[in-house]
């Protein structure tokens, strides 16, 4: 399970490889798969820049948590209109960034901690 401080991607052996937001901000980051030990390097260049921008996006989402239950994505289908809270979207769906590493594409994922968000939504509903 991801925490607020962690991104993850899937290794070629299908194991999840954690990558901390702090590691992303370092100049050169090397992480190893906890299952097979394969090493992945994130040095300077466009790959690291995109990863760092994605990490900043995830940090911003966490910093805005206070208003995410009151900010919505509006979905209009014909005459039907629905507002879905960002907080709900972020806890049910993963935010991902697809990056090309050599000849492979990896998907780096982030998901807000669902237990904290679910408790906040439940508390808000009881207050109505």
pLDDT (tens place) for every residue of the chain, 128 residues total: 344 467 888 888 999 888 877 777 776 778 899 999 999 887 777 877 887 888 788 788 878 888 888 999 898 999 999 998 888 887 777 778 888 877 888 788 776 655 344 444 455 555 54
Model pTM greater than 0.85?
no
* Distance from C-alpha of 74 to C-alpha of 53, rounded to nearest angstrom: 26
What are the boundaries of each domain within the chain? 6-127
C-beta of residue 7 within 8 angstroms of C-beta of residue 108: yes
């Amino acid at each position: 399970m991801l925490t607020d401080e962690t991104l993850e991607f899937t290794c070629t052996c299908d194991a999840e490889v954690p990558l901390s937001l702090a590691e992303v901000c370092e100049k050169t980051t090397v992480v190893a798969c906890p299952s097979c030990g394969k090493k992945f390097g994130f040095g300077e260049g466009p790959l690291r820049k995109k990863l760092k921008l994605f990490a900043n996006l995830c940090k911003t989402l966490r910093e805005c948590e206070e208003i995410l239950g009151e900010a919505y994505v509006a979905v209009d289908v014909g005459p039907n209109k629905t507002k879905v809270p960002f907080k709900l979207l972020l806890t049910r769906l993963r935010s991902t960034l697809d990056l090309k590493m050599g000849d492979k594409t990896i998907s780096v994922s982030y998901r807000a901690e669902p237990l904290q968000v679910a408790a906040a939504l439940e508390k808000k509903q009881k207050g109505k």
